[in-house]
Chain A
Amino acid sequence: MAHLVDGVVAWPVLVGGTALAAAGLAIGCRRLEPERIPQTALLSAAFFVVSLVHVPVGPWGMHPLLNGLLGILLGWAAFPAVFVALLLQATLFGVGGITVLGVNTVALAAPAVLVHLLFARRLERGRRALWGALAGGTAVVATAVLVALTLALSGAELRPAAALMLAAYLPLAAVEAAFTGTVASYLGRVKPALLAGPALLAQGRDA
């Protein structure tokens, strides 16, 4: 799980991360029009449910992170969507840190937005399996790097743990890439309007 637990992040990093989260949330909420809330909520709920699915990989398995896909479909609205999902996870499932809500939000949502800025246009045009896979893989790698960085900045004694988490995440990035590619390709065939991006949808051009 890409989640940092309470008590491992140093105060300066915690405050900085939370500030970044607040900034991201501010931008995301401003771009979240009231008409888009049901759709964003439904997508957020869908992601939540899918991330609970256990995908067998080798002898163990993983739960998809899907922040790449979330970023593609939601853009900056990924910040509020991720925050809500983390909040629900902490309350509904009793899993997840409270003090680290901000840092975890940044770790998941910032890569989502990055992926949107990098790949959304390309996905709109075609070759969805490829760009989707790149988006999914990039998002997971970026998240793993952010988590590891947060830990590394919090103290030398946390660096081995950071390395461990990085090592655990990078192979999963391959599966996540394939998974995201499949979903992106699927959406491209069945409902390409979703891939057109939130900005275009908001202008009323949904098919």
Chain B
Amino acid sequence: MSGGLLELRDVHFAYEASRPVLRGASLELRAGERVALCGGNGAGKTTLLHVAVGLLVPSAGEVIAFGEPRRREREFWSVRARVGLLFQDPDDQLFCPSVAEDVAFGPLNLGRSPAQARAIAAETLAKLGIAELAERSSEKLSGGEKRLATLATVLAMEPEVLLLDEPTLGLDDAAQERLAGLLEGLPQAMCLVSHDRPFRARLATRTLALVQGRVEVDAR
């Protein structure tokens, strides 16, 4: 056993047959690591993250999560409970009338009772220092507030791994600073997709790059 939490082996994926995005991408994430993934626009970083939690099915290659290979949809159900994916666009993730309900959504899916889910939501929001956003509607939040809210929605499920897709996109300096500080304090293994070099430098234990559909060590 490799001891890795999440592993992608030689993954191939194409949205259209003529334009493959991933051409044998491999990635391994071990406990305690924070791996940064960079690459040009359209390089396939988001695609890689979505394949990792089974939202996209690769045409070739393997996804191995927590020691077991995952192929079918039902094999990913338990993966999604333990691997939290933060989407690039917070609007994709926020759909409930209040932030507290959005945060409670994950625990409810995992089988908690409504009362338990509410408690977990309150706790998570407090831990992130955004308890005051609980009853606000996500439509009226600023970019920074939305980003922290989505982080809460994912953390409420108590995942072991975090996959973050451009978490600092659209955030001002103060918000970026706050987010980086919060992430530094989290115990989870992380894969951070980010264009933001200082952000990567601050958080990452190692940096990889997605080039021509494959993952390489970032030489820069």
Contact = CB atoms under 8 A, between A and B. Distances in A.
Interface in A176-206: 185-186, 189-191
Contacts of A185: 97
Contacts of A190: 97, 137, 139
Contacts of B97: 185-186, 189-190
B47 interface: no
Contacts of A191: 139
Interface in B27-53: none
Interface string B97-127: 1100000000000000000000000000000
Nearest to B97: A189
A74 B98 CA distance: 25
A186 B98 CA distance: 9
Nearest to B138: A190
A135 to B, nearest CB: 19
A185 B139 CA distance: 16
Contacts of B137: 189-190
B181 to A, nearest CB: 31
A140 to B, nearest CB: 24
Nearest to A188: B97
A94 to B, nearest CB: 25
Interface in B179-201: none
A190 B98 CA distance: 8
A150 to B, nearest CB: 38
Interface in B53-105: 97-98
A185 B97 CA distance: 9
Contacts of B139: 190-191
Interface in A123-150: none
B205 to A, nearest CB: 41
A190 B137 CA distance: 6
A191 B97 CA distance: 10
Interface string B123-167: 000000000000001010000000000000000000000000000
Contacts of A189: 97-98, 137
A189 B139 CA distance: 11
Contacts of B98: 189
A144 B8 CA distance: 52
A37 B185 CA distance: 50
A100 to B, nearest CB: 36
A170 to B, nearest CB: 29
Nearest to B135: A189
B84 to A, nearest CB: 25
A75 to B, nearest CB: 24
Nearest to A186: B97
A182 to B, nearest CB: 10
Nearest to B140: A190
A189 B95 CA distance: 13
B64 to A, nearest CB: 31
A191 B138 CA distance: 12
A66 B189 CA distance: 44
A189 B98 CA distance: 9
A190 B141 CA distance: 12
A185 B98 CA distance: 12
B35 to A, nearest CB: 37
Nearest to B95: A186
5 contacts: A185-B97, A186-B97, A190-B137, A190-B139, A191-B139
Interface of B: 97-98, 137, 139
Given A185-B97, A189-B97, A191-B139, 6 more contacts: A186-B97, A189-B98, A189-B137, A190-B97, A190-B137, A190-B139
List 7 A-B pairs, minimum CB-CB distance, nearest first. Answer: A189-B97, A190-B137, A186-B97, A190-B97, A190-B139, A189-B137, A189-B98
